[in-house]
Amino acid sequence: MEKYLEELNEAQKAPVLHKEGPLMVIAGAGSGKTRVLTFRIAYLMEQGVDPFNILALTFTNKAAREMKKRIAQIVGASEAKNLWMGTFHSIFAKILRFEADKLGYPSNFTIYDTQDSQRLIGAIIKEMGLDKDIYKYKQIQNRISSFKNSLITVRAYYNNPELVEADAMAKRPRVGEIYEAYCDRCFKAGAMDFDDLLLKTNELLTRFPEVLMKYQERFKYILVDEYQDTNHSQYLIVKALSDRYQNICVVGDDAQSIYAFRGANINNILNFQRDYDDVKVYRLEQNYRSTKNIVNAANSVIEKNKQRLDKNVWTANDDGSFIKVQRSITDAEEGRFVASSIFENKMQYQLSEGDFAVLYRTNSQSRAIEDALRRKDIPYRIYGGLSFYQRKEIKDVLCYLRLVLNPKDEEALVRIINFPTRGIGQTTMEKLTVAANHYKRSVFEVMENLDKIDLKINTGTKTKLDNFVTMIKSFQIINKESDAFTVAEHVVKKTGILQEFKKDGTPEGIARMENIEELLNGIKDFIEGQKELADANGSLAEFLEDVALATDLDKDTGDDDRVALMTIHLAKGLEFPYVYIVGMEEDLFPSAMSMNTRSELEEERRLFYVALTRAEKQAYLTYTQSRYRWGKLIDAEPSRFIEEIDDKYLEYLTPPLDAGYRYKPLIDADIFGEVDKSKLRLKRPVAGTPPSYKKPSEEKLRKLRKLKPGLDQPVENNNLFDNDLSVGNKVEHSRFGKGEIIKIEGVGNDKKAEIKFENGGIKKLLLRFARLKVI
């Protein structure tokens, strides 16, 4: 038996050695699904399957690279090079370039990022003269994105009365027109957005049977990791490509499906057996990642979900320590706790920064953590914020490069035509856009043909436009003969971008210059890296594609010894010895936007399951009593997910505190923390509403008493019992005697209870002074 197979247990070996036909590995976190997928590819190759015939789809390109490295160790680097491995988006972008002409796109089509899409949609809304407060560009972009992921084209939209009506009801009857204009403009600009990469692949495979056949023959073996998070569009691509040979291997965990909000469909995994004939299902139960405490705690939480497949995850690892729960008064204090705790653990157990991760529900939570880490000089890296490539100065340079490759790229043009300033104003651009729409040409083409069209642009401006066109064309000539670095260097010098920031002279300007320098270095590294691969030479086209599809997680900085900060969504599939899950508060996690239906709440719970199961040795859960959100200090109460963990796996570093009331922010925010402030309202608690949290259990109180002295901070005006009172409670007052609460009103320091005492009197008492005892 091959040596590498000894690194698998029996249950894992079975799917690796599985011969032909569809198979599904369905198993809990840390049970070796990704390892099975990796080893299966190596095994197939050893069995003589040509790497050209294997396609592996992963959650990030970095994951694909790591898997490839492992496979290279087993079968040799030169063979592994020929594997097609990567995210859906990067693999199908490549295929679309080969086949672009069939769909009427140039093979050098631009990939619009979300920013580009949003700007374009904003521009269309403005051109149509619509109210931008009703037609919010971000919301419309979201909606269009969801249409595309469900393969609803413009025509399908109009043919679907439900969708049309929904938009009419939302007082946005012209969404269809915006959608149509957006698609036209993208097409005219030779651009695809992220969703198009899947939508157009589907179009390609359905409209052109010979193309479908070609790729079915090419990819005789298809493997998909994290299958639970594929959306409809991805599902259809996989289904079509694997239809002929049915050598499809999917691995996943229904309990880790966390992208429903972006259209991922958990049913893809649940229905897999129905979709293919003779599916063999393999289950893995042994977790190799985490301690017993972590595995069992995670099991005890996910059991609360109704919609799930039964799984029995266990581990032979040590018990490990309890999951530690920490309460802070503010988010700043929470940050300080995390920073000190990381520092202490690092010192005590001789760890490095790379052993730690801080996970949160929304990006905006990172700031307080960052501040605290910085103060303690702890190096960290934040993932998934504004990516390097989205920084203003970097995107400016990139837009020049995009334009060199594809002069029709309207978003790139709009962005840099007057940066650095060259006297081409808004009005001129509007005239050009109108003409472009009229002639059904790109703006750049209009600029090339100014003397043939009467545009009422004065000669001075005309000269400026001519100069711009000439400059871009000169870059194109360089691009024909050189690699990405040479072109970029030229662009940076000739456009005057560097001088612009130099002139600026402020520290910010200098930082921007340095960033541009870093971009140039990055391009050099990229070229080196590309040359190591078989079929690439470091052209500008390759570089731009890499940038367009790079997520923050993909970047190899070569300097991974830093604390990792990221949202839980990004942490999927990763593992760290020490994990801090911060912001464990109601309305934050579970998110206020995800508590309306059971299925939303269950998705939040799966998200928590993912978070907890990232930890190998130790998990911390932290929450605060108050938090700044959207510029307001809001009282917070501990997340129900802490309660849901079986108490025997927890250790409280501070006593749990029960807040007896809650704010419910009614907001429209996306998962990455962007908030529509206009919708921010705080709902006052209704008098008499029972607190959603029960009194600490005896078990917890026992633990509180066991606390080390000094660990707990005194908490002002927050009597453990007062806050937990509700209507109907029997209480005792030192002066008035026994009574029953008949009403509760107010919040925080103003919280009052109306009490009917046994001696006949009714009194309204301010709770923070009343010192009531529950009887």
User: Taking CB under 6 A as the rule, does residue 33 contact ligand ATP?
Assistant: yes
Tokens found for residue 556: 């190899």
| Binding region for ligand ATP (CB under 6 A) out of 26-34, 195-203, 356-364, 410-418 | 26-34
Q: What are the DSSP E strand ranges found in 688-736? A: 730-733
- Which of Mg ion, ligand ATP, none is residue 35 near (CB under 5 to 8 Å by kind)? ligand ATP
Q: Tell me which of 16, 24, 29, 553 binds ligand ATP, using CB under 6 A.
A: 29
228 within 8 A of 262, measured Cβ to Cβ: no
Q: Tell me which of 15, 32, 86, 638 binds ligand ATP, using CB under 6 A.
A: 32
Q: Tell me which of 31, 341, 433, 530 binds ligand ATP, using CB under 6 A.
A: 31
User: Taking CB under 6 A as the rule, does residue 255 contact ligand ATP?
Assistant: no
Identify the active-site residue in 87, 234, 256, 530: 256
Q: Tell me which of 31, 34, 141, 341 binds Mg ion, using CB under 5 A.
A: 34
- Which of ligand ATP, Mg ion, none is residue 190 near (CB under 5 to 8 Å by kind)? none
- Which of Mg ion, ligand ATP, none is residue 406 near (CB under 5 to 8 Å by kind)? none
Is 38 annotated in a binding site? The answer is no
What lies within 8 Å, CB to CB, of 664 at 6+ separation is 587, 592, 682, 683
- Examine the residue annotation and report whether 34 is marked as an active-site residue of this protein: yes
Identify the active-site residue in 12, 13, 33, 410: 33
Question: Residue 629: beta bridge partners?
Answer: 632
User: Taking CB under 6 A as the rule, does residue 15 contact ligand ATP?
Assistant: no
Distances from the Cα of 264 to the Cα of 162, 226, 228, 622, angstroms: 21, 11, 8, 29
CB nearer to Mg ion: pick between 34 and 328: 34
CA distance 775 to 766: 19
As measured in angstroms, the least distance from the Cβ of 245 to Mg ion is: 25
Is 529 annotated in a binding site? The answer is no
Distances from the Cα of 363 to the Cα of 54, 370, 378, 669, 681, angstroms: 36, 11, 19, 12, 21
DSSP 25-39: EEE-TTSSHHHHHHH
- Which of ligand ATP, Mg ion, none is residue 208 near (CB under 5 to 8 Å by kind)? none
User: Taking CB under 6 A as the rule, does residue 335 contact ligand ATP?
Assistant: no
Q: Could you say which residues in the range 544-583 bind Mg ion, by CB under 5 A?
A: 573
User: Taking CB under 6 A as the rule, does residue 573 contact ligand ATP?
Assistant: yes
As measured in angstroms, the least distance from the Cβ of 486 to ligand ATP is: 41
- Examine the residue annotation and report whether 246 is marked as an active-site residue of this protein: no
- Which of ligand ATP, Mg ion, none is residue 628 near (CB under 5 to 8 Å by kind)? none
Is 33 annotated in a binding site? The answer is yes
Instruction: Tell me: cis bond preceding 420? Omega within 30 of 0 counts.
Output: yes
CA distance 260 to 569: 11
Is 34 annotated in a binding site? The answer is yes
295 within 8 A of 622, measured Cβ to Cβ: no
- Which of Mg ion, ligand ATP, none is residue 288 near (CB under 5 to 8 Å by kind)? ligand ATP
Identify the active-site residue in 99, 167, 196, 226: 226
Tokens 């391009």, residue? Answer: 523
Identify the active-site residue in 225, 333, 355, 370: 225
User: Taking CB under 5 A as the rule, does residue 538 contact Mg ion?
Assistant: no
Tokens found for residue 326: 């920490």
- Which of ligand ATP, Mg ion, none is residue 522 near (CB under 5 to 8 Å by kind)? none
First-to-last alpha carbon distance for the chain, in angstroms, is 70
- Examine the residue annotation and report whether 614 is marked as an active-site residue of this protein: yes
As measured in angstroms, the least distance from the Cβ of 704 to Mg ion is: 38
CB nearer to ligand ATP: pick between 397 and 612: 612
| Binding region for ligand ATP (CB under 6 A) out of 6-14, 201-209, 230-238, 668-676 | 6-14
AA identity, residue 119: R
Residue 394 has a CB neighbour count (10 Å cut-off) of 19
- Which of Mg ion, ligand ATP, none is residue 754 near (CB under 5 to 8 Å by kind)? none
Is 30 annotated in a binding site? The answer is yes
As measured in angstroms, the least distance from the Cβ of 545 to Mg ion is: 26
Calculate ∠ Cα 313-60-394, nearest 5°.
145
- Which of ligand ATP, Mg ion, none is residue 311 near (CB under 5 to 8 Å by kind)? none
Phi, psi of 159 (to 5 degrees): -85, 0
CA distance 39 to 25: 13
Identify the active-site residue in 68, 464, 512, 614: 614
As measured in angstroms, the least distance from the Cβ of 616 to ligand ATP is: 8
Tokens 């898997």, residue? Answer: 67
What lies within 8 Å, CB to CB, of 109 at 6+ separation is 96, 97, 100, 190, 191, 192, 406
CB nearer to Mg ion: pick between 264 and 765: 264
Phi and psi based region of residue 498 (left: phi greater than 0; alpha: psi -120 to 50; beta: remaining): alpha
AA identity, residue 58: T
Q: Which is nearest to 290 in space by CA: 320, 312, 256?
A: 320
Is 29 annotated in a binding site? The answer is yes
Residue 462 has a CB neighbour count (10 Å cut-off) of 15
CB nearer to Mg ion: pick between 204 and 357: 357
Map 327-374 to HEC letters: EECCHHHHHHHHHHHHHHHHHHHCCCHHHEEEEECCHHHHHHHHHHHH
User: Taking CB under 6 A as the rule, does residue 117 contact ligand ATP?
Assistant: no
Distances from the Cα of 506 to the Cα of 396, 500, 510, 511, 740, angstroms: 19, 11, 6, 9, 66
- Examine the residue annotation and report whether 348 is marked as an active-site residue of this protein: no
CB nearer to Mg ion: pick between 573 and 691: 573
Radius of gyration of the chain (CA): 29
| Binding region for ligand ATP (CB under 6 A) out of 32-40, 207-215, 309-317, 450-458 | 32-40
AA identity, residue 497: I
- Examine the residue annotation and report whether 689 is marked as an active-site residue of this protein: no
Q: Could you say which residues in the range 268-327 bind ligand ATP, by CB under 6 A?
A: 288-289
- Examine the residue annotation and report whether 422 is marked as an active-site residue of this protein: no
Q: Enumerate binding residues for ligand ATP (CB under 6 A).
A: 7-9, 12, 27, 29-35, 253, 256, 288-289, 573, 575
Q: Which residues are annotated as a binding site?
A: 27-34
Q: Which residues are annotated as a binding site for ATP?
A: 27-34
User: Which residues are tagged catalytic?
Assistant: 33-34, 225-226, 256, 614
